[in-house]
Amino acid sequence: MKKAAAIVTNRGGRTCHAAIIARELGIPAVVGCGDATERMKDGEKVTVSCAEGDTGYVYADMLDFSVKSSSVDTMPELPLKVMMNVGNPDRAFDFACLPNEGVGLARLEFIINRMIGVHPRALLEFDDQDAALQKRHS
């Protein structure tokens, strides 16, 4: 998924695994499209847009677009707290640059897997692991 420019699935919703991971990676995803993957051909170029609100769209061919940017300094203050979902420690510093009130959800299983590379239980029971595993993680 990290190499994908966009994700389109036949099934799923905004809380499905593909949608959650796509949001975390900043990749546009349109899920629950019915027969979309049967209708698209391998190598066909499409534009996947999630900029129109809650509903994403898959357009035939490559569409022209323009990028508009705004300074966070000129944005109005929100009447609510924006909390971040962090599951990728490599992106945590990127998220820290955005206006936010803190971390609402830390996906520790992703963070531990990415940073430590071993299941926490294996660390707790290190002496019970076989010699090859102990050597690999010492």
- What's the CA gap between 12 and 27, in Å, rounded? 16
Question: What are the structural domains of the chain?
Answer: 7-60 (3.50.30.10), 72-136 (no CATH)
Which residues participate in catalysis according to the annotation?
A: 17
Residues 6+ apart with CB under 8 A from 9: 16, 18, 29, 30, 31, 32, 33, 36, 37
pTM exceeds 0.95 for this model: no
* Full pLDDT tens readout for the chain, 138 residues: 678 899 999 999 989 999 988 988 889 999 999 998 899 998 899 999 988 888 899 999 999 988 888 887 888 888 999 898 888 888 888 888 888 899 999 888 888 878 888 777 877 888 887 777 667 766
- What's the CA gap between 21 and 4, in Å, rounded? 12
